[in-house]
Amino acid sequence: MANSKSLMLFSGRGYPDLAAEVADHLGITVTPEDAYEFANGEIFVRYKESARGSDAFVIQSCGEGINTWVMETLIMIDALKRASAKRISVVLPFYPYARQDKKHRGREPISARLIADLLKTAGAHRLMCVDLHTDQIQGFFDGPVDHLMAAPLLTDYILKQYGADHLTVVSPDSGRVRTAERWADRLGGTPLAFIHKTRDPLKPNQVVANRVVGEVGGRTCIIVDDMIDTGGTIASATRAVVEAGAKQVIVAATHGVLSDPAAERLSNCGLTEVVLTNTLPIPQNHRFPKLTVLSIAPMLARAIHEVFEDGSVTSLFES
């Protein structure tokens, strides 16, 4: 790769395996560092190689222990800024606090905006994310934002495994219909359905699914979402679709947060398969037989290469 000596990759401790896989696709190595916590929990980071004048890419997956990884990311950025890196791009496959992107009631924070402000203050010049919870988060960061999409990876897998006939794309709620429409287009113009549900704003992660709107009887239904946390929404939607006569139900999502009791819920709700990407680490105790995990690393590597070469990231997703 031209000018490869100035492209440097730095990994947070949130998911070093993903960073190593991205580095492998780029044909480089992750820059070695010392990173640890003092007895009182303070995080320390020091890079073992000079970053002066480099095009630095910091990869961090903010999974379980999210607040630790957010703070570590800010410290890593600050260290690179003080080490005279020429440009600092932060790669957050899963954007932390993305669900807090607006005020639902008075006296609430907009934490997704706060994260963007913190990244900018620390010294980040550019942000790269995969499937933000809402598109408006792109406007929170004062700088270029590369919004990558996992849909091509996921839809290619769905078509290869299940074919294009008798598919219906299902949105688990009315707020995800736009995402479902994009999926339907990629799958060749399949029919759409959605779950009409209610949610108690005072009780997070608790959903009551009501009725299915759309034709699902006798069809292979693809329930799509950006993330699966406790699995309540997906399990409830799956049961509703099965009761409406679906032939089989496949769940596809980008981010596998999989907080307990997600694995148990998804294993026992009647679905055929759950397809996720590895934007977040999924420990063995959160995995289950019906789970398939696809690697996002090749796409991240291509996007990093385009940014480094001043190419077009958008071209990666244009058919």
Q: Is 48 a catalytic site residue?
A: no
Residues near 316 by Cβ (< 8 Å), separated by ≥ 6? 148, 299, 302, 303, 306
Largest CA distance in the chain: 61
Closest CA to 170 of 233, 214, 208: 214
Residue of 197, 203, 247, 290 marked catalytic: 197
DSSP symbols for the chain: -TTGGGEEEEE-TT-HHHHHHHHHHHT--BPPEEEEE-TTS-EEEEESS--TT-EEEEE----SSHHHHHHHHHHHHHHHHHTT-SEEEEEESS-TTTT-SS-SSTT---HHHHHHHHHHHHT--EEEEES-SSGGGGGTSSS-EEEE--HHHHHHHHHHHH-STTEEEEESSGGGHHHHHHHHHHTTS--EEEEEEEE-TTSTT-EEEEEEES--TTSEEEEEEEEESSSHHHHHHHHHHHHTT-SEEEEEEEEE---TTHHHHHHTS--SEEEEESSS---GGG--TTEEEE--HHHHHHHHHHHHTT--SGGGG--
What does DSSP say about strands 43-47 and 33-37: parallel, antiparallel, or unpaired? antiparallel
Catalytic site positions: 197
